[in-house]
Chains A and B, each alone.
Chain A
Amino acid sequence: MEVTRNGQGRRKIPDDRNYREQRAREERTRTFEHSGTASGAGVRNRPSVRTEDSISMRLWQGFLRLVADMRENRKNKMDWFLLFMIVGVLAAGLLMLYSASYPYAYYNEGGDGAYYLKRQLLFAVLGLIGMYATSLLPMWFLRKCATGLIAISIFLLALLYVLPKYGGERRWINLGGGFTFQPSEMAKFAVILFLAKWYDQNRNRVHQFGTGVCVPAVAVAVIGCLILFETHLSGFILITLIGMTIMFIAGIKLRWFGILFALLAAGGSAVLMFTDYMKTRLTVWLDPFSDRLGDGWQNIQANYAISLGGLGGLGFTESRQKYLYISEPQNDFIFAVVCEELGFIGATIVLLAFVVLVWRGLSVSMSSTSRFQQLLGIGISAQIGWQTLLNVGVVTRALPNTGISLPFFSSGGTSLFILLLSMGVLLAVSRNSVKKTV
């Protein structure tokens, strides 16, 4: 039993990796591996899990166990610094969203400048509650969810091809009342969860081609392609990057990793070379003035915004480019408004805040107690990291425009909600990781 910084003993919740053994042990001993605690949490009676029980009974019992474990898990401290970073970045994001979206909302939503803020705020509150809830989830539960979640994701992604288009794109499921749901957001989490579980289960066969490379690559490819063919390039890129990161960390052979990387690079450049759509995108990227009023517009306006900001920025809410120059300042190009209002210094701080958040997420995950938790946390952290870097890359024209949003900042209720839920999972991982002394 290890002793944490606050001197309390860790609450031991049956872990995923040895879950089967533990269950067997539990079967035998009918007791739980609870350590005696200073806080005095006593040993509880748990409903027994019997194989001969009916399915509904088992589900009920599982649920009770989940609730009990979640209550128990409250006593394990989550990583306060990670939480602080999440809430801090979220707060900054909400403030910036309010400023950036005000004129756009004013002119497009009937004079209600706070339209986007209100929506975002609602989902932020819901998301924070959800985050706390998910931060209590025991790992065994998440493990159990993995397969189901990826199946649901595939189903919903496939459903998009059947449903009518929304907003001219095949990306959203219209929930009615102005709310939409983007299955690719869920798919990202599902892929992370699946890969974490897969590599954990096969942690001794990770060097093999079949288990280490083939199955995960196929899983990522199926989800990725479903997203790609709904012409959601940014979603595809993101899910590929997350997948690659997990595979790399999980320990697949570098040779295979290299081959996969080369394949993707070859495919990508082939698409670039042979499709006119991509060619024009590339031309506009390199010289946005070649299509000043068309595809180049957003890039030019974003670059103008950054230049206007200068070193110190025009001041919070003082952006000029948000006055209908930047096409959707509340969305993909919100970082341009950040640059304009907060300047180079402010924008760098925001960017570094993201990096610190990711860094902390990665570190906390690495010091976690199981491979499953490690990979789960790394995947979630990587998602935020890559998404942030790609978004800022697009805004600064370091990368071609792919239409990727900035986590915590960009407007989008359901996506923020799902993001916060996954943050909860990251916090859940942190509850089981070994705290560092600060």
Chain B
Amino acid sequence: MVRTENRNAGRNGGDTSESTRDSAPRSKYSGSVGRSVRSAGRTAAGYGKPRVYTEKQMNRRMNVVKGIIAAFTCVLVFFIAWYSIINREYWLNLATDQQMADVVIPAKRGTIYDANMEEIVKSNTAWRLVIRTTGSSYDTMTDAQKIKVDGVLHPRYQDAVVKKIADVCELTEEYINSRLSIRGMEVNIKGKYNKLQKDEINTFITELNNGIRAENEQISLYNASLSKDQKETMSKLTLPLVQGISWSEDTVRYYKYGSLGSTILGFTNDGNEASMGLEQQYNNELSGVDGRSVTAKAARNSAVMPYEYTQLVDPIAGNNIVTTIDVTVQQYLEKYLSKAVKDNDIRNRACGIIMNVNTGAILAMATMPDFDPSDYLTIKDTSLKTKTDLAVSKEPDSDKKNEILNSARQSQWNNKLITDTYEPGSVFKPITMASALEEGLTNVGDTFYCRGSKIVAGRAIKCHRAGGHGSENLTQGMMNSCNPVFMTLAERLGASKFYKYFTAFGFTEKTGIDLPGEVKGMWHTEAALGSYAGNLAVSSFGQSFTITPIQMATAISAVANGGYLVTPHLVSSIVDGENNIIKKIDTVVKRQVISEDTSKKINAMLEETVSNGTAKNGYIKGYRLGGKTGTSEKLRKTQETGVKEYIASYCGVAPCDNPEIIMLVILDEPKGASHAGGATAAPVVRNVLSEVLPYLGVETIYSTEDAELLDTLAPGVEGRTLDEAKTTLTAKGLKYRVVGSGDTVISQIPKGGQSVPKGSTVVICTSEDSVPKSTVPDLRGMSPSAANKALTKANLNIRYAGSGYDSTLGVVVGQSIEKGTKVEQGTVVTVEFIQSGSTD
């Protein structure tokens, strides 16, 4: 009977659908089971008698168990779905992050070209050194296990390898060892290394490994020779190879001209991030897009996934930029600017700019002393370095130490032309003049009288010449740089017109040059100029307000180019790898400030100032140059320190009949013999332009006076008869002096074909003896005539150079052959003069 019931129950129990349905209301169901058990027991046999636990009840309980299992299964399926479907993104990101070795492939940074497509900065491939170290468990390994360590630098070879790396990479062994003490990691060694360095280290390792392999062969041969019994105790372990040294590719900036133009270019740091200069300004163009190489990696570094899983995203190289900089011009500028820094003992750096007046294209721009962009953290200027080191050594706090160091670094990175402001002084005067002329408040024939000072708002404001310039016309006012003339002009303009032109010339706005970090100065508002006449008067000659040098250069450009205020810029175009132009940067004319007529008048005045006025030191033979000197007192600093500090500046325009370039030089805090712009800054401009103008192919036109002083080529008369020689030399406008008593010229000084100034004496020797020698005298400080006399006395020829040698004001500041040198008679000594007593 039981069996039959059992069979039925079995069928029911086995029926899945039914049991699931039955088991759904679990609690209620199990309760009823309990009751039914009890009641069944009672009704069947009463208390004390065996109760029957029927197959049916058992079946129900089985359904409960099945229900629990089913429910549990559903929960688990949900949990699987949670990770694999519902919340998959979150976990998947974590998982892929863990598994993927994501290597950045740096994009090649663009090249910076000069105006003639000469590469100034370009990126080269360089390599970083990566060393994989043994795991932390290494020390606890047995010898046999240690041999098996794979893909890491085995400590056995560490010393040799570290020594080699230190040697090749110019690092200290302590540094490398400290890096290698990080266990079980891929350790980066600082710096980027070129192919030569990389190859040298790789060759070293290959050779080491060849040696080890040979040794291992010996060991295997030895082991093979052992008998079976000996093997257990006597066999030797083979040696591991040198491993775990790898290189990751990167790029490094290569500066073909060293530190040339460093304050314009800026630099990139170790992580190829740009700072300062064009690198920062055009970073988006230059940087390109880094590529990525994503590879699967196993949990243990040494283990590599056996299947390929690599995704490569190619880097996109950056665009190249073509600058307006001319490397040759830049070299001249930097050469003479750094010379000026040395000669005049400049304390707060000097800066200069050569700019195309019509387009605003900057041909050269420099701040000296500068820095080395490939070693930008080192302070290049020795005096700044000494000062900084001293300050750092005195400072106990390490944070403050860094602060001092960083501020020193920042100061050497700054491009003074755009990040520093200064009081322009007399260089500003053409602006006041142009404003007054443009407004018709004066004309070229206007006359003024200078008593040495002008009383403005009850206060006498001095002219730089104590006795005054007396009666003078407008041009003479400019030539003499006479303060009262400009105060008068400003007075006529009044505050509102003065301010109108001040604004129009762009002094209240940034020039918009394509460099980062441009600042603005501080100036009197229209109201301040109006409320106190003193402000206006002092502003007229460039004092009491500050501007940036680039603003000054742009404003003078506008004066010179016919009145157009242009935006200065350094980049002319952006090109791709095949030099296809992607973007062209055109001249931006902001506005016309003054008329072309006014501009011409000012140019003429500036030319006069160079030819006959205070800017004589800016004069170069054969060129029509205009210029204006400036010497301003740093009033604020003087107030702070009590020591008078000056800024000497000079702005030249060339050529004056049709201006093409302007050049501005500013020397901050000269501590040499003079602090005047005419004496210190003007020669820099003259020296640079005398090389740059011929380079740029600006035509020379000589005045008759100048033509006399021009050089001529000495004719070769050696081997000719004495008479022939005399005739030839005289025809060339040269004098002669005969040494010896022969009839035929045996030798001559200067030699045939050499360039000599007209009127020089050629020494011709007719005897066998060589040309006699004489000693070069010390000419320093002499006047032009005295210098000429001294050299003539020594039977030497003079070549005048510099400025002021045509007047009594000229003073010798240099000579091409050092005093005391013995040279052959007739040798040409180039003597550099400067116009002494030049003031603004």
Binding site for B on A (CB under 8 A): 2, 103, 107, 203-207, 245, 248-251, 253-255, 300, 303-311, 320-321, 323-325, 339, 343-344, 347-348, 351-352, 355, 358-359, 362-364, 366-369, 374, 378, 382, 385, 389, 392-393, 396-398, 433-434, 436
Contacts and interface: CB of A to CB of B under 8 A. Distances in A.
Nearest to B96: A308
A348 B306 CA distance: 28
Nearest to B16: A359
A304 B300 contact: no
7 contacts: A2-B7, A245-B65, A249-B58, A304-B94, A307-B91, A351-B73, A362-B65
A436 B10 contact: yes
Contact of A396 (B62, B69, B70, B83): B83
Nearest to B10: A367
B11 A367 contact: yes
Given A205-B50, A207-B37, A434-B7, A249 B62 contact: yes
B7 to A, nearest CB: 5
A203 B53 contact: yes
B303 A324 contact: yes
A107 B303 contact: yes
B124 interface: no
B30 interface: yes
A398 B79 contact: yes
Contact of A351 (B50, B77, B87, B92): B77
A367 B76 contact: no
Residue among B3, B69, B309 with max Cβ neighbours from chain A (10 Å):
B69
What 8 A-B pairs come out closest when comparing CB atoms?
A: A367-B10, A307-B91, A304-B95, A363-B14, A396-B79, A251-B53, A306-B83, A324-B299
A410 B298 CA distance: 22
Given A207-B37, A325-B298, 13 more contacts: A207-B41, A248-B61, A249-B65, A254-B31, A306-B80, A307-B90, A309-B84, A320-B309, A351-B77, A355-B70, A355-B73, A363-B10, A378-B62
B65 A367 contact: no
A357 B78 CA distance: 21
Given A366-B10, A382-B65, A339 B91 contact: no
Contact of B84 (A204, A307, A369): A307
A397 B79 contact: yes
B33 A325 contact: no
A348 B77 contact: yes
Nearest to B33: A254
B10 A389 contact: no
Contacts of A351: 73, 76-77, 80
Interface residues of B, number: 58
B81 interface: yes
Q: Is the interface of B mostly helix, strand, loop or mixed?
A: helix
A432 B327 CA distance: 103
Contacts of A251: 37, 53, 57-58, 61
A389 B72 contact: yes
B158 interface: no
Contacts of A308: 92, 95
Given A107-B300, A392-B76, A320 B305 contact: yes
A186 B401 CA distance: 73
Contacts of B88: 307, 310
A413 B815 CA distance: 102
B65 A344 contact: no
B65 A311 contact: no
Given A320-B305, A389-B73, A366 B9 contact: yes
Nearest to B83: A306
A369 B6 contact: yes
Contact of A311 (B9, B85, B303, B306): B85
B91 A304 contact: yes
Contacts of A306: 80, 83-84, 91
Nearest to A358: B69
Contacts of A103: 298, 303, 306
A169 B742 CA distance: 120
A348 B79 contact: no
Contacts of B79: 393, 396-398
Contacts of B94: 300, 304, 307
B75 A398 contact: yes
Contacts of A355: 69-70, 73
Contacts of B11: 367, 436
B298 A323 contact: yes
Interface string B481-524: 00000000000000000000000000000000000000000000
Residue among A205, A206, A311, A320 with max Cβ neighbours from chain B (10 Å):
A320
Given A303-B91, A308-B92, A348-B77, A343 B299 contact: no
Contacts of A382: 65
Contacts of A347: 80, 84
A253 B81 CA distance: 38
Contacts of B191: none
B13 A366 contact: yes
Contacts of B9: 366-367
B343 to A, nearest CB: 66
B59 interface: yes
A136 B50 CA distance: 34
A367 B84 contact: no
A366 B59 contact: yes
B7 A367 contact: yes
Contacts of B57: 251
B303 A323 contact: yes
B80 A366 contact: no
Contacts of B213: none
A434 B53 CA distance: 21
A363 B81 CA distance: 29
A286 B119 CA distance: 61
A310 B300 contact: no
Contact of A366 (B14, B87, B305, B309): B14
B98 interface: yes
B95 A396 contact: no
A310 B88 CA distance: 7
B64 to A, nearest CB: 8
B311 to A, nearest CB: 14
B81 A344 contact: yes
B76 A393 contact: yes
Contact of A204 (B31, B50, B58, B64): B50
B66 interface: yes
Nearest to B51: A207
B377 interface: no
B420 to A, nearest CB: 53
Contacts of B305: 320, 323
A147 to B, nearest CB: 24
Given A389-B76, A398-B76, A206 B84 contact: no
Residue among A253, A306, A436 with max Cβ neighbours from chain B (10 Å):
A306
Nearest to A320: B99
A363 B300 contact: no
Contacts of A305: 95
A323 B299 contact: yes
Nearest to B34: A254
A389 B91 contact: no
A306 B80 CA distance: 7
A207 B31 CA distance: 16
Contact of A325 (B77, B82, B85, B99): B99
Interface in B3-42: 3, 6-7, 9-11, 13-14, 16, 30-31, 33-34, 37, 41
Contacts of B82: 396
B72 A254 contact: no
B34 A352 contact: no
B166 interface: no
Given A348-B77, A393-B76, A436-B11, A366 B62 contact: yes
Interface in B280-333: 296, 298-300, 303, 305-306, 309
A368 B51 CA distance: 22
Nearest to B50: A204
A255 B34 CA distance: 8
B694 to A, nearest CB: 71
